């Protein structure tokens, strides 16, 4: 499945819905959505990851970029991630920098 990242904002929450495989080829598209989201100055960034089947190290670097771009005051949620994605995030310890949930509870 090809990668897609769509952005929506509602109030102070920016939501990016991720689909497909987040690898080196897809990372620039994800970073572009992060830049757009940061422009809205949200209080929360919600990454809907239910349809994200794979995340490479380039995808993980994009998450680090999101954390840096949004700043410490913005909470980043990763919602409904599949096991391979969760494993990648946990193996690196990045799960301590984001809020991982089965369903978004804002």
Encode pLDDT of 9-49 as tens digits: 999 999 999 999 999 999 999 999 999 999 999 999 999 99
Total domains in the fold of the chain: 1
Q: What is the mean pLDDT of residues 76-87?
A: 97
- Whether residue 106 is contained in a domain is answered as no
Percentage helix, strand, coil for the chain under 3-state DSSP, each rounded to 5: 35, 35, 30
- Cβ atoms of 48 and 79 within 8 Å: the answer is yes
- Whether residue 95 is contained in a domain is answered as yes
Q: What is the mean pLDDT of residues 63-73?
A: 95
Q: Distance between CA atoms of 74 and 34, rounded to whole angstroms?
A: 13
Q: Distance between CA atoms of 11 and 60, rounded to whole angstroms?
A: 27
Q: Which CATH number do you get for residue 51?
A: 3.30.750.24
- Whether residue 51 is contained in a domain is answered as yes
Domain of residue 60 covers: 4-101
């Amino acid at each position: 499945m090809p990668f897609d990242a769509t952005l929506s904002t509602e109030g102070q929450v920016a939501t990016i819905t991720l689909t497909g495989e987040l690898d080196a080829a897809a990372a620039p598209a994800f970073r572009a959505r992060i830049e757009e989201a940061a422009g809205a100055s949200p209080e929360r960034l919600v990454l809907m990851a239910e349809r994200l089947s794979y995340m490479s190290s380039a995808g993980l670097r994009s998450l680090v970029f999101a954390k840096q771009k949004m700043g410490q005051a913005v909470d980043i949620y990763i919602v409904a991630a599949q096991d391979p994605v969760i494993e990648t995030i946990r193996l690196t310890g990045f799960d301590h920098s984001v809020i991982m949930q089965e369903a978004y509870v804002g």
